[in-house]
Each structure stands twice: as C-alpha cells, then as structure tokens.
Amino acid sequence: MNLISLKDNTLNQEFSVGKPFDSVRKALDSVAGKNLKSLADKDFKFIIYPPFLKELDVKCSDVIFDVDYSDLSKPKITTGNIMGFVCLDDDIRVNITSRFDSGNKNYFLHYMLQRICNVVYTPRTDAGDDSFFDFLYYLFPNFLNEALKQGVFRAYVNRVYNEANVRGPIDVSRHVRYNIPFNGKIAYHTREYTTDNYVTQLVRHTIEYIRLLSCGKSVLDGNVSSKTSDNIRAIDFATPTYNRKDRQYVISKNLRPITHPYYTAYEPLRRICLAILMHNKLSYGENSTSQINGILFDGACLWEEYLNTVLVNKFKDSLIHPNNRTGFGVQYLFKDDGCQKIRRIYPDFLIDGNVKDGMIDSATAIIDAKYKRLDEKIDRDDVFQILAYLFRFKSKQGFLIHPVECCKACEPKNMTLYNDDSVKLTIVPFVVPKTSGSFEEFCVAMKNAEEKMQEKLKLI
C-alpha cells in the first residue's frame, strides 16, 4: 500500500508514490476538486461526517484536495478543511490529518469527536493505517439516532413456517418431507411486512459487535444526552431472530444501497455498519464487497459543533445555535418578497436573541466559527458575512473564533467600525496545545485552552 500523508488547510504539499505517474494522476483526479456534496452522492462510496440530508440544499464549496501538475516532476497537493482517508485504488491511499497534530499523533480530531459525540475513552490515537477506523465507533450512535428518527426500518420478508395456524400458501414438498405421517402441522410460507429484516439485523449485529469491544460501554451508553439507549432497545426488540452465527449472511444481504424513498437516513447507517463489521476489508472499486472507499470529516462543521459544546457552558440558555445541515434555526436576511422569504442565513451562534414574529429580531452578540487558516488576515467574504449578521440582528458586538497553533500570536484583535465606534468585531484565536505525551495530557491541555478562550469572550 502506497500512503500519501497530508495535513489539512495546507498549500503545495509534495508527495511521492512508487507507481507510474499516469496511474497516480488518474487515481488522484477521481476525487480531486470534488466537494463533500458530490462525494456524498450514490456514485461514490464514502462515509461522511457530519452527514448531508438530501432534502436540504446545503452549499459546500470546500473540496477534499486540489492537485497542481504545473511541475510534473514534483506535483503538489493543496488541502482544505477535510480530514480523513481515501482509498484511491488497490495500492494508493491518502491520509489527511489535522494540521494541529504532530508526528503520528491524531489527538485533535479524536478530542473534537469525543466532545461532539459525548463519548469518553482512551483511543488508539496514532495516524497509522487503521487509526481512522476507530472513529467509526464514535459516529455509530449519531447515525443510529438519525435513522431511528424515521422509525424502525420495515420491509417485506419471506418467512417459512411449519405449524397448525396456516397464514399463507402451503409448501407441498416441504409438508410431505416434515409432516408425513400427519402430525397436526402444515408447512407454508408467507410474506410479512416486519421490523425483523436484513437492515435491522445488520444494525443489531453492529451493536453486538461494539458491545464486545473494550470501549463498547462508553460508546453505546456514554452518550447520555441522546436517545441512544432507547434506540438500541428498539433494535433489540425488533430483531428477535438475531443469531450471531448469521453475521456473514446478513452482511451479504446488505451490500446493495438502501433506496427506500422514506427511510433515507438508513443508507448512511448501512454504510457505517458495514465499515465496522468489515473494517479490515475496506477497498476500492465497483466490485468491492464493502463498497466503501474512505471516511471523511468536515473540519469546519466539526469545529463549529465542538465550539457549541464549549460555549454552551459559558452562555447556558442564552446561546442559540442554528444549523444549516439540519435546517434548524433558519433565519432570513430579507423580508417576504410577496412569494417567499429570501436569502436564508445560518449564523453560527447568537447570544441573547429576541424573537419577533417567529424570527430572531435582535441579539446581543454574534459568534462566527472559522476552521481555516486566518494567520495573516481575515478574508474579505468572512468580514462581510459577520458584518451582515451584525446589521441583520442589530448587534453591536461580533466574535470570530479560529484555531491557531501554540506558537502563533494568541491575543484577541479588536476592530471597530469606521463610522460607528459602538460596533466592534473581535478576532479570538483558540490556541490548540501541542503535546508529546499521552492523550489524557492533551485533554487536560485542551480544557485549559477552552477556559482561556472563554475568558476572551467579554460582552460589551
């Protein structure tokens, strides 16, 4: 396996692979320049977190990476906010880790996922070939809960019976084989619409597999803020015919995508279940039995959701967190134009929002989360975006929080509007600690960094 190791949000990273250039270029071009929205389509086979909801028109311009072939002897790759791994073919794999992790450590991504998924345990945190599979255990409860919001999956299943209460066509040959001389039973078959089907059986096998892991209790029972326990009990109740010996048979029955028009959230769940049960067989190609080519994490969304877990401790119930991936808390920049409200907006965080006519009319402060590099200066579009939010919600104070390495300047930077001294924008760097020690030491350092960041969020 030829491994290309990259860091996110990094320009012109050189790489080398011991294969002919044409084959390497063809493999890279299969995903280069594509954003997560396109990679989430059925033609690709990636597990993407946070997942996209097909019914929402979510814009996503960030691509997994771009390749510069201007110098064919030294091609270069530029990465964005995406982390994870991609199997490009049978011999080429791309690992993209956080730019805040040094060496073979993968602490920062693990920590954010643990906070978001409310799971606490000490994982394997190296960036080796199998490290990204460990993230699947964090994600499983989230995918399970999203799927169960649509109810327990139901499907038609063929059943065979041999009993006195006949409810379907009689199987003559089977009846003769088992019930002659006559013993009071009739062999028959029927087609039932039931929750005990191949999909729920796959989910049940995944739950039982995780239960046997050392981290199983933390993963399945640690997410106290969710309905994970209730949903697991629902799956247990829905699969009375579960048999551990049937695992390979159940896997083989779930290799095709779920195309049900209602149970749309079960397709991502099916993929992650297969990845967990067959993690050592993930590979590339249309004929792959697992049909999964990689695991991708949207760093911008993870950073936003991680900050939500931090900020809620400071602002409590006054914090409002709209979410464009779920459509929660949608706001509008302009009023109704006679047909529909136009220009939907999703500010990352609002403090002390006042509701009027079903919409947030004003807020004390606006907080925007940016994961990309802002070491030198803030992008023009980012400034205009938060100024539009300040204007729309009649706010006098805005914060822009972005992560920086510990060697960078860590003091907040205040900017005052040119013709209005009462409007202030504060750039707040979140210093991600570096440590050569254990994951537990990194967690302690992150707690200290969170406290320092919250001290910088001083309202007018």
Secondary structure letter of residue 52 according to DSSP: P
- Choice among 81-85, 326-330, 440-444, 453-457 with the minimum mean pLDDT: 326-330
Residue 387's SS3 state is helix
Strand-pairing partners, residue 395, are none
Q: Please state the rounded mean pLDDT for residues 300-323.
A: 90
Q: Does residue 289 have a pLDDT over 60?
A: no
pLDDT of residue 286: 40
pLDDT of residue 333: 85
pLDDT of residue 287: 42
Residues contacting 41, CB < 8 A, separation 6+: none
C-alpha distance across the termini of the chain, in Å: 56
Question: In whole angstroms, what is the distance from residue 294 CA to residue 44 CA?
Answer: 10
- Choice among 154-168, 336-350, 389-403, 429-443 with the minimum mean pLDDT: 336-350
pLDDT of residue 219: 82
Element containing residue 126 per DSSP (H, E): none
Tokens of 272: 């992650």
Q: Does residue 285 have a pLDDT over 50?
A: no
pLDDT level of residue 249 (50, 70, 90 thresholds): very high
pLDDT of residue 84: 85
CA angle 9, 10, 15 (to 5 degrees): 130
DSSP state letters, 304-317: HHHHHHHHHHHHGG
Q: What letter represents residue 269's amino acid? A: L
In 20-102, which ranges are E strands?
A: 46-49, 65-68, 76-79, 82-87, 92-97
pLDDT of residue 57: 47
pLDDT level of residue 152 (50, 70, 90 thresholds): very high
For the chain, give the mean pLDDT.
Answer: 82
Chain CA centroid to CA 211, Å: 22
Cβ pair 171, 189 in contact under 8 A: yes
Q: What letter represents residue 378's amino acid? A: I
pLDDT of residue 288: 47
Q: At what angle do helices 439-455 and 299-315 cross, to 10 degrees?
A: 60
Q: At what angle do helices 107-117 and 135-148 cross, to 10 degrees?
A: 30
The residue assigned the tokens 């200290």 is 448
**Which residue, 218, 85, 226, 71, is CA-closest to 147?**
226
- Pick 379 or 237 by higher pLDDT: 237
pLDDT of residue 339: 56
Residues contacting 148, CB < 8 A, separation 6+: 227, 231, 234, 235
- Choice among 216-225, 260-269, 320-329, 364-373 with the minimum mean pLDDT: 216-225
Q: pLDDT tens for residues 373-398?
A: 876 678 888 889 999 999 999 999 99
- Pick 105 or 369 by higher pLDDT: 369
Secondary structure letter of residue 240 according to DSSP: T
Q: Please state the rounded mean pLDDT for residues 152-179.
A: 83
pLDDT level of residue 216 (50, 70, 90 thresholds): confident
Residue 131's SS3 state is helix
Q: pLDDT tens for residues 21-61?
A: 777 888 888 888 888 777 766 555 778 888 765 545 445 66
Dihedral angle computed from the Cα positions of residues 433, 438, 443 and 444, in that order, rounded to the nearest 10 degrees:
-80
- Pick 218 or 122 by higher pLDDT: 218
pLDDT of residue 306: 94
**Which residue, 59, 61, 81, is CA-closest to 345?**
59
Q: pLDDT tens for residues 60-111?
A: 667 888 988 888 778 889 998 888 888 877 678 888 888 888 766 788 988 9
**Which residue, 6, 112, 109, is CA-closest to 67?**
6
Helix %, strand %, coil % of the chain (to 5): 35, 25, 40
**Which residue, 70, 65, 71, 50, is CA-closest to 7?**
65
pLDDT above 70 as % of the chain: 87
- Pick 292 or 189 by higher pLDDT: 189
Q: pLDDT tens for residues 170-195?
A: 877 887 888 888 788 888 888 888 99
Question: In whole angstroms, what is the distance from residue 183 CA to residue 460 CA?
Answer: 85
Q: Please state the rounded mean pLDDT for residues 232-251.
A: 93
- Pick 339 or 145 by higher pLDDT: 145
pLDDT of residue 176: 81
